[in-house]
Homo-oligomer: A and B are copies of this chain.
Amino acid sequence: MIERLDVHSAGIPVLCQACEARHRGVCGALEPDQLVALAKTSSKHRVTSGAELIGDMEAVDGYSNILSGVVKLTKTLSDGREQIVGLQFAPDFLGRPFREESALTAQAATDVSLCSFPRATIEGMLKRSPGLEHRLLEQTLRELDEARDWMVTLGRKTAGEKVASFLMLIATYIDPELDPRSGSAVFDLPLTRAEIADFLGLTIETVSRQLTKLKADKVIQIENNRRVTVENIERLRFRAGL
């Protein structure tokens, strides 16, 4: 594809030109001059799987856009029990505005690339640019909807339904066009069994057994522990408790 200098890219920082966050992410709400100001203080970087992005160590300061990869948000009870309370994908915005200490930890579940901004820059722009706040509200409402769906899964579904629901979630994230009532899907699991267990409120062993059962029932195939093939997504949807 050839880069064109037309009205859409005029005055837009090079850093942002090919950035997905400018289209579907929060940066799409900014005017070119704001984008220039933001780009001055922002920096792209990559972190490897397992890195802690928000939490006690504060590896990444301020806020970020996720450019690629998967970030897991976890909460830990004092005795070590852990629950994943959210998964974020590109081009989600990462960080909790208007609050000092985040009560959760954000960790890279896969290798992740980020575009990070200082706290003050974003907070200043939020005050001046209502469009930015609107995008943030849209993302937050979406996350709330997702969290509530997850509460149903955690509170009321069986282990088998939970695992099937998780696979549905990943499948529809990988291919948002996917019709959950027909068709097929192939994807790599972005989480280990232990992480899936922490996401679903189960143990590793139970996750493994339920995956084995889905395999035995020919609902899915698994290669190399990671690559999942769903022949008929409707059957998987059924196993997820509709």
- In the complex, the chain B residue whose C-beta lies closest to that of A162 is B155
Contact residues in B for A50 (Cβ distance below 8 Å) = none
Contact code string A173-215 (vs B, CB < 8 Å = 1, else 0)? 0000000000000000000000000001100000000000000
Against B, the Cβ 8 Å flags (1 = close, 0 = not) of A125-154 are 000001001101110110111011111101
Nearest residue (CB) in B for A74 is B152
Are the CB atoms of B77 and A155 closer together than 8 Å? no
Residues B149 and A75 in contact, CB atoms below 8 Å apart: yes
Is residue A30 contacting chain B, with contact meaning CB distance below 8 A?
A: no
Known interface pairs A78-B242, A133-B137, A137-B140. Does A150 touch B152 (Cβ–Cβ under 8 Å)? no
Residue A11 CB within 8 A of the other chain: no
Query: Per-position contact with B for A155-168: 1 when CB-CB < 8 Å, else 0?
Result: 11100000000000
Stretch of A12-20, A81-89, A114-122 with 4 or more beta carbons under 8 angstroms from chain B: A81-89
- The number of times this chain is found in the oligomer is 2
Q: Is the CB of B201 within 8 A of A148?
A: no
A154 CB to nearest chain B CB (Å) = 4
Query: Which chain B residues border A77 with CB–CB below 8 Å?
Result: 152, 156-157, 241-242
Question: Are B156 and A81 in contact, CB atoms less than 8 angstroms apart?
Answer: yes
Q: Interface segment, A37-45, A54-62, A95-103, A224-232?
A: A95-103
| A window 89-114: CB within 8 A of B | 96-99, 103-104
Contacting pair B241 A152 (CB below 8 A) = no
The complex places the Cα of A169 from the Cα of B75 at a distance, in Å, of 18
The reply to whether the CB of A73 lies closer than 8 angstroms to some CB of chain B is yes
B141 lies within 8 A of A96 (CB): yes
- In the complex, the answer to whether B148 meets A75 with C-beta atoms within 8 Å is yes
Residues of B near A75 (CB, < 8 A) are: 148-149, 151-152
User: Given A104-B148, A148-B75: A82 and B156 within 8 A (CB)?
Assistant: yes
Q: Which residues of the partner chain B approach A156 to less than 8 Å between Cβ atoms?
A: 77, 81-83, 201
Q: Using Cβ atoms and an 8 Å threshold, which residues of chain B touch A97?
A: 141
User: Which B residues touch A157, using CB under 8 A?
Assistant: 77, 81
CB A109 to nearest CB in B, in angstroms, measures 17
In the complex with contacts A75-B148, A75-B152, A152-B75, A141-B98 CB distance below 8 A: yes
- How many angstroms from the CA of A96 to the CA of B154 in the assembled complex? 23
Interfacial chain B residues near A201, Cβ < 8 Å: 154-156
